Copies of this chain bind each other. A is one copy, B any other.
């Protein structure tokens, strides 16, 4: 099979998967008006794959000459990472800032496993790298959507997986194994698009100690595997199909579901880590490198949209020359462009995995990029809300605008600058409301790990020895330490 069509993807979801939404079991997810929003959005991945204008970018020929998705291939140089970036930005630009979740997170898990499994094999004599390679072939051949199960539900966050918790299943773990495979139990939360995916790829979400070794597990299962239940998140959307009042939330639904694994069997060939606890942290960390960058990549496009909405609103309100508005637009521009350049730099300055032809994004830049966009998001929403005015909170429904009894009043009174149709102004206001929802706030802060997670990475990656050597040299502190960048420099001030 070559790349799939959107229709094939939709059909593939009729597989008796166990999905709950707002208190009810959904028999056929493809017929559900809300879940269908998520499906249609994910299907854009296949629309793009089948669009001749984009095939050179988003697909590659495999050895058999079949078109396969580029994003399932291993990354071996900066050019690959930059192309990946281009793919994600195309996806995002088409879908109003949010790349369809078909393979968006799954590819990052695949990349992390590709880098880390050889490390495990080397130390433990396992053969996970082969498993991954087989799995990759399977993905290339079948072109499925792949969700990524990362975040465990955690229970009491101050306690470790194996200890003291009210029960032992707050992190996904191996509860049984035999010669054919393992049995896993637990739950992963806010797993975007999982109820509408074909494959579920699961990684550990943190470093583990020896006593936690049952929790050091990575694997893949089909989405309809026996024992899996999905409980969908409640979406922002209020009314499917109403793209006037809900331009984003009626177009995009991430369905960040809770996945419960109730003693699910995983065959050996889909197991990528089994109790090799020293590498659990590596996996979580390597996934972070790829995924923080992916997030930053689409965020730069989403910010283009946000900044555009602010600029347009300023214009529609006739305040585009007011100094504090210009300051806001300038700030938003800097924010947008800095996010773009930080992520691009993480690709351009990628790191080579030793004894391997693989690369991964520069971890320092990938983490800074994520931190930077998340840390400044609330300031950005403040600027755009400041520019847009109170009407974002108090705007009437488009139903009132289209009601002939009230249309003329709204047309007359909610207009802005001369020449701008009131309808355009109303549509833009609705867009801004959707862009600055609490959902967006939380997604921006927490997806790909909290601010604290990036802080920890950055602290760990910091080259303090270099920094301290600079300080010691300037302060004339001679304590016997040496640093290659500083130890051979000429004296300063000079003797002349």
Contacts and interface: CB of A to CB of B under 8 A. Distances in A.
A304 interface: yes
Interface string A440-456: 01110111001110010
Interface string A333-363: 1101110011011001100000000000000
B441 A381 contact: yes
A397 B428 contact: no
A266 interface: no
Q: Nearest 5 pairs between A and B by C-beta?
A: A23-B399, A308-B467, A323-B323, A156-B318, A390-B446
A490 B341 contact: no
A324 B321 contact: no
Interface in A457-478: 458-459, 461-462, 464, 466-477
Given A155-B415, A348-B348, A471-B431, A22 B400 contact: yes
Q: How many copies of this chain sit in the oligomeric assembly? A: 4
Chain A contact residues: helix, strand, loop or mixed: helix
Contact of A158 (B155, B321, B427): B321
5 contacts: A40-B493, A156-B317, A156-B417, A231-B410, A333-B459
Q: Which of A21, A305, A466 has the most CB of B within 10 A?
A: A305
Nearest to A234: B397
Interface string A122-155: 0000000000000000000000000000010101
Nearest to A311: B464
A356 to B, nearest CB: 25
B446 A319 contact: no
Contacts of A308: 464, 466-472
Contact of A47 (B441, B485, B494): B494
Q: Which of A158, A341, A389, A431 has the most CB of B within 10 A?
A: A341
